[in-house]
Amino acid sequence: MGCALESRGSRGRYFLEFPVGMTVVEKILARASGLPAVKAGDVVEPAVDLAMSHENAALVMNQFAEVFEGTGLPAIPWDPSRIAIILDHRVPAESPKTATNQKKIREFVATHGIEKFHDIRGDVGGICHQVLPEYGYVRPGMVVVGTDSHTTSHGALGAFSFGIGATEMASIWALGKAVNIEVPATIKVVVRGKFGRHVGPKDLILHLIGRLTAQGANFRVLEFHGKTIERMSTSGRLAICNMSVEAGATCGIVPGDEETLRYLKEEARVKGKVPVILPDEDAMYEQVVEVDVRDLAPQVACPHTVDNVKPIQEVQGTRVHQIVIGSCTNGRLDDLEVAAGILKGKKLARGTRMLVFPASARVFAKALDLGYVHTLMKAGAVVMNSGCGPCLGVHEGALGDDEVALSTTNRNFKGRMGNPRSEVYLCSPAVAAASALTGVITDPREQA
């Protein structure tokens, strides 16, 4: 991989006869739409580089067949090599209905030769938002769509990546383009300062969502900049881009840099030259938000909205019954490392249970090799297979009436974990692990 940072994409759009630069997403959409330049508000039809679905591919298939009804044209996807299907929401299947949907998906995948298919497996399986980066399916500058709102995750690798519904995916499978897309305005987020001990990317994104509110970035892009982001690992960037949607954002994006190239080369085993796309210096941002993380405390999102964020001091001591560490947000190797570090040689508090579900089979295997799984199990945690189930109350890990969960996942809506008479708090892996030892929300900075 030639490691020189190369800025790709056109420049020189004119606004009131003065040249105006473009944001990263504007550059990506201009390239994908075959236009020299675009600006926020333009309507474009970008070619799609990667189209991801999970179990809801069953609905996409249904809608896809309907598109072709009565046309006399064969219902064949535009480009099977650009379609990815990852089974993760209910794995292994919890019901005959799910199992049958998964079976139909396998048949479709075989019929159309879809190679980026990750079945329920202990080697290549996992949660879609971890599998896509791990296997090098996502590169800087791509247009990525997914039938999952947390598709925002892949902006961590410099792609324009956004969530869509199943019918829109069926349209993309048919046409290869996303039709009638409005170029979103961009909010520039500049993050400075070094995180304190036991404070990290999850606390940053929770803090930001609290500031912006749940709809503060609706129809907008969050473009991340600043020294803190430059120093942040791809894992941390995936966490902040993942949760950008909780502020309503169409996508979160970190322009590609040395860390992006390192990740792609070393962890995703991508070969060859990878160009990255950087914003123009005179790009037009709708707003600039600055954050200094030097004095940031661990943050907790309280029931029942993700923007109900408080510094840990205000909620510590709250009784918790179930600790959850995992998901596409915080189920990666460094998250498990933090949890294992805090729990090593210790035991969960009585009356508190702990579920751990790694983000992918590959993460699980590495955590086994490094001893994290053993450490967590000895402390009393139940280590589950990789999947989405507990996060959204579809499969295992449901809460009892009046129970409280403290979770590293991404949503705490009423009923999210399967029971409307329960509560969910969201936090970082460090806060979750520290609280598992005490049975109450605990500041990890204050533990010995």
Partner 1 sequence: MSTVILKLGNDISTDDIYPGRYMATVLPSETPQFCFANRPEINAALNAGQHPPGSVIAAGENFGCGSSREQAVSTLKGHGLIIVARSIARIFLQNSINLGLPVVICRGLEAEEGQHLEIGPETVKNLSTGQEFEVSRLPEARQAILEAGGLIPYTRSRLKEFRG
- Give the contact letters, 112-151, x = binds to partner 1 (CB under 8 A), - = no: -----------------------------------xxx-x
| Beta carbon of residue 251, minimum distance to partner 1 (angstroms, whole number) | 11
Q: Is 97 in the site for partner 1 (CB under 8 A)?
A: yes
**Residue 82 touching partner 1 (CB under 8 A):** no
- Least distance from partner 1 to the Cβ atom of residue 59, Å: 4
Report how far residue 24's alpha carbon sits from residue 308's, in angstroms, rounded to the nearest whole number.
Answer: 30
Piece in contact with partner 1 (CB under 8 A), picked from 223-231, 258-266, 282-290, 409-417 = 409-417
248 is a contact residue toward partner 1 (CB under 8 A): yes
3-state helix, strand, coil in the chain (%, to 5): 35, 20, 45
Closer Cβ to partner 1, 240 or 381, answer by number: 240
Q: How many residues bind partner 1 (CB under 8 A)?
A: 60
For partner 1, the closer of residues 269 and 414 by Cβ is: 414
Residues forming a β-bridge with 224: 189
> Does 170 sit near partner 1 (CB under 8 A)?
yes
Detail the DSSP E strand segments found in 276-378: 287-292, 299-301, 309-311, 322-326, 353-357
DSSP assignment letter at 140: T
Taking CB under 8 A as the rule, does residue 107 contact partner 1?
A: no
- Looking at the Cβ atoms of 176 and 196, the one nearer to partner 1 is 176
CA distances from 94 to 98, 362, 395 (A): 7, 23, 7
Q: What is residue 126's DSSP assignment?
A: B
Between strands 83-86 and 50-53, the pairing is: parallel
Cα(394)–Cα(397) distance, integer angstroms: 9
Residue from the set 116, 177, 188, 332 that interacts with partner 1 by CB under 8 A: 177
Per-residue contact flags (x/-) with partner 1 for residues 296 to 335, judged by CB under 8 A: ---------x-x----------------------------
Nearest to partner 1 of 311, 418 (CB atom): 418
Which residue has 């383009």 as its token pair?
A: 177
Q: Does 416 contact partner 1 by CB under 8 A?
A: yes
Quick one: 29 or 278, whose CB is closer to partner 1? Answer: 29
Q: What angle do CA 47, 50, 56 make, to 5 degrees?
A: 115
Residue 383 carries which side chain, given as an amino acid letter?
V
Q: If binding is defined by CB under 8 A, does position 448 make contact with partner 1?
A: no
CA nearest neighbour of 442 among 328, 346, 356: 346
Question: E strands within 141-258?
Answer: 143-146, 160-163, 181-182, 185-192, 220-225, 251-253
CB-based burial of residue 141 (10 Å sphere; 0-12 exposed, 13-18 middle, 19+ buried)?
buried
Could you say which residues in the range 29-48 bind partner 1, by CB under 8 A?
43
Among residues 179 and 377, whose Cβ is nearest to partner 1? 179
Site string for partner 1, 149-168 (x = CB under 8 A): x-x-----------xxxxxx
Q: Which range touches partner 1 (CB under 8 A), out of 26-34, 211-219, 223-231, 429-437?
A: 211-219
CB 55 within 8 A of CB 86: no
Beta carbons of 292 and 64 less than 8 angstroms apart: no
Residues that bind partner 1 (CB under 8 A): 43, 55-56, 58-59, 62-63, 66-71, 73, 78, 89-90, 94-95, 97-98, 101, 147-149, 151, 163-168, 170-171, 174-177, 179-182, 214-215, 218-219, 248, 250, 305, 307, 392-394, 411, 413-416, 418, 420
